[in-house]
Structure 1
């Protein structure tokens, strides 16, 4: 941080002349205190994140961050934002260290966390600029949403992990997802936090101007009222029937990078678990499901899509299977897919994963990426992403599917729901990351998507956490990690569309545009003041 300065008033001399403003150094202790608060705020947001259900801490932590950047220069706001982002993301993404650390050291983990923290720095710079505008909490929250949208888009397709919305899966603000998706939940959290910061800033002046607390109080009430207004949209009731779903978690060895060469083990484990389900159903120990969902990366198929074991299991159960795996097309293209296995016809419908994991399923800068990614050798060619939503006719349900990383993005399940899905499914393979928090973080994203689209969702993971999630975001069944388990549940099917499903990204883009416009206005006001300032004067009331 550069040394901070503040400005005194113009000073009139005995001859009537006015001197320029004096630059006064702020004690370094103030800078260190703000740095400490920014770091503490970031750590608090992490500590409130899944698997912990401390959602109410996030607005309070954001209030601390907003207080730190309020009135600062843009470069100082950027510095505090970077600290906030690092303090949040380094522990949040610790599963990257678990995954890659033994072979590649801390560098992939540090690199990803730092690159993503730069977007928090951008948010801090913008928030600092707009903090001097009227209705500052609104503009500060809008700027943060814009920065979050940007990092969910670039580079390499974006990395939405760690959105504030994903901390609210068990919280009072979750119903807002049904109005405007993840972006509007983030806006609500940030607005509430920024309003609390503004409230605290104005409290010392309340005796002199009693109405000074009215504006921040109103800003803080808006997210709460919005959540209450959206609550009737959140329900677990079926309006399109029900379906009995079986979820197979066949388990995987907890060997991290060693899974790169254990495709056959994953396949055998899940075929064995599926055959046990067949035996249980045929013996009467379990009721016959309407469909069976297996995880990501179970199978591996050529253009003909032959798999005698899946043929046999589907035929003996008499119901469709939904299973993930790697597949090659006739022209040699590789993709990550979900296939529906029909009892009579074998492989029928297919879905191609739309959002590929950078440096794993698609590898930018392949010539040097081997320094940080083991997948350069595993996949000599990039996978090909899909464009179309996946909706399978599976018995009574129209199943909308997305694979693993897809759930972090809003378009995949929005497209499936608009195309008529009455139930959602997320096959995933999280065995790479050991007994880390990664699976629980991903489950929180699924919970938000269920409320966003008013659909139940089924998570099928190779080694956990598999789960049954109701349309209101409630988890009713859940597996343990690194165990072979089969879940079976009757889930509600729904066909109505929420405002979030209908509007899509429009609310998030609108709020982000307002944030960008506010930054533009703040810059214009700054330059106008600078043009009218007397020689030798500085134009910012507060430096760092």
Structure 2
């Protein structure tokens, strides 16, 4: 009973310590500046594959939705890979249309672009067009996706696997991006995690640790049926917001798109397949949370210490049980057994 009571007290102390640390932990600071933003969701059916989709139709769907946004915002975000061209986007009519739309909006427009590189490769990038005064719609930055989806965007060991599933695997491989995942624009400095990169905390940390004030997540879940993956992605955006102390803007072509506050609150969220424009005002934030400052090492260290403590406790428990078994299982000598004199029966009455 005493041991159980001690364990309960120790657990309560740990819980209180964690709650206290969470309350005291730095969560970033507002700079005093805000930005008016819009997220464009063009809508369309779920469960569609890229190879079966008219890429121009997807682009026009988002362009039409974007044209319902009134000028005067600071930043407009389109989803991942809703622009698909056969080379650098600035060399194609879609690039001209994006530049014109940025100028109409009088804002920075960030669009998800797929650019072919030869017959077997492509780049997946978030490209920023500056439509603010004096910007002229010029490209002012790009971030290329670094964390590619295995068997979705590239095929490991293609020569071995492709003969087994030639009609299912993607025909081309995405090139791996590099560099700091930050867009430095006239509207501010933005960290970018493209699509499933939002599931990797260190990718968001990389951008925010380079003084990004807001986190952008252009994504595309149109190939998935149902809402399970989309729900998981919103949950991950909430985690990245809390970890970095930044607002998160998630843009998806068929949902879910969302605006997430630094404390993880989902301020706005779209539905599936609908055409929707999310608008809001977000803070530009600075400062480093513990996670941005230290990364995964504290968590890994805590896990290692917990594993070691559990191992030590189990060894101590087994040792104690062995000692108790040895003590209770030993046969103590009796007085009769110690006396070698045989007993003599007591004579009865004659």
Same fold (TM over 0.5): yes
Q: Distance in 2 between matches of 1:262 and 1:480?
A: 23
> 2:161 maps to what in 1?
368
1:56-107 C-alpha deviation (Å, 9 max, x unpaired):
xxxxxxxxxxxxxxxxxxxxxxxxxxxxxxxxxxxxxxxxxxxxxxxxxxxx
Query: What is the deviation of 1:352?
Result: 1.1
User: Are the counterparts in 2 of residues 414 and 504 from structure 1 also a CA contact under 8 Å?
Assistant: yes
> 2:21 maps to what in 1?
229
Q: 1:234 to 1:462 in 2, by over 3 A?
A: farther
Choose from 74, 77, 88 the match for 1:303: 88
Query: What is the deviation of 1:274?
Result: 1.2
Q: 1:516 to 1:237 in 2, by over 3 A?
A: closer
Choose from 240, 250, 259 the match for 2:42: 250
Q: 1:334 to 1:236 in 2, by over 3 A?
A: same
User: Are the counterparts in 1 of residues 239 and 264 from structure 2 also a CA contact under 8 Å?
Assistant: yes
Q: Distance in 1 between matches of 2:89 and 2:60?
A: 20
Q: Distance in 2 between matches of 1:410 and 1:396?
A: 25
Q: 1:436 to 1:304 in 2, by over 3 A?
A: closer
> 2:342 maps to what in 1?
none
Q: 1:441 to 1:372 in 2, by over 3 A?
A: farther
Query: What is the deviation of 1:228?
Result: 3.4
Query: What is the deviation of 1:394?
Result: 3.1
1:187-237 C-alpha deviation (Å, 9 max, x unpaired):
xxxxxxxxxxxxxxxxxxx2xx3x522224422542443133322447697
Q: Distance in 1 between matches of 2:89 and 2:305?
A: 51
1:427-471 C-alpha deviation (Å, 9 max, x unpaired):
010111133221111101110111111101101111111111111
Q: Distance in 1 between matches of 2:61 and 2:16?
A: 47
> 1:434 maps to what in 2?
225
Highest CA radius of gyration, 1 or 2?
2
User: Are the counterparts in 2 of residues 389 and 412 from structure 1 also a CA contact under 8 Å?
Assistant: no
> 1:337 maps to what in 2?
125
> 2:348 maps to what in 1?
none
Q: 1:221 to 1:518 in 2, by over 3 A?
A: closer
User: Which of the two has greater helix per residue?
Assistant: 1
User: Which of the two has greater strand per residue?
Assistant: 2
Choose from 200, 205, 216 the match for 1:425: 216
1:500-541 C-alpha deviation (Å, 9 max, x unpaired):
100012112323443565688799999x9xxxxxxxxxxxxx
Choose from 260, 281, 293 the match for 2:77: 293
2:59 maps to 1:267: yes
How does 1:82-481 map onto structure 2 within 5 Å? Answer: 206=1, 209=2, 211-233=3-25, 238-257=30-49, 260-277=52-69, 280-281=70-71, 288-301=72-85, 302-303=87-88, 305-306=90-91, 307-329=95-117, 333-343=121-131, 344-366=136-158, 367-368=160-161, 376=169, 378-380=170-172, 382-481=173-272
- Return 5+ residue gaps in structure 1 as ranges: 1-205, 282-287, 529-544
User: Are the counterparts in 2 of residues 250 and 485 from structure 1 also a CA contact under 8 Å?
Assistant: yes
1:21-69 C-alpha deviation (Å, 9 max, x unpaired):
xxxxxxxxxxxxxxxxxxxxxxxxxxxxxxxxxxxxxxxxxxxxxxxxx
Q: Distance in 2 between matches of 1:405 and 1:449?
A: 12
1:170-201 C-alpha deviation (Å, 9 max, x unpaired):
xxxxxxxxxxxxxxxxxxxxxxxxxxxxxxxx
User: Are the counterparts in 1 of residues 43 and 275 from structure 2 also a CA contact under 8 Å?
Assistant: yes
User: Are the counterparts in 2 of residues 359 and 373 from structure 1 also a CA contact under 8 Å?
Assistant: no
User: Are the counterparts in 2 of residues 422 and 494 from structure 1 also a CA contact under 8 Å?
Assistant: yes
Aligned pair count reads: 311
Query: What is the deviation of 1:360?
Result: 0.8
- Return 5+ residue gaps in structure 2 as ranges: 320-350
User: Are the counterparts in 2 of residues 339 and 347 from structure 1 also a CA contact under 8 Å?
Assistant: yes
Q: Distance in 1 between matches of 2:28 and 2:294?
A: 22
Q: Distance in 2 between matches of 1:335 and 1:416?
A: 19
User: Are the counterparts in 1 of residues 26 and 290 from structure 2 also a CA contact under 8 Å?
Assistant: no
SS at match of 1:493: strand
Query: What is the deviation of 1:270?
Result: 0.6
Range with greater deviation from structure 2 (231-240 or 411-420): 231-240
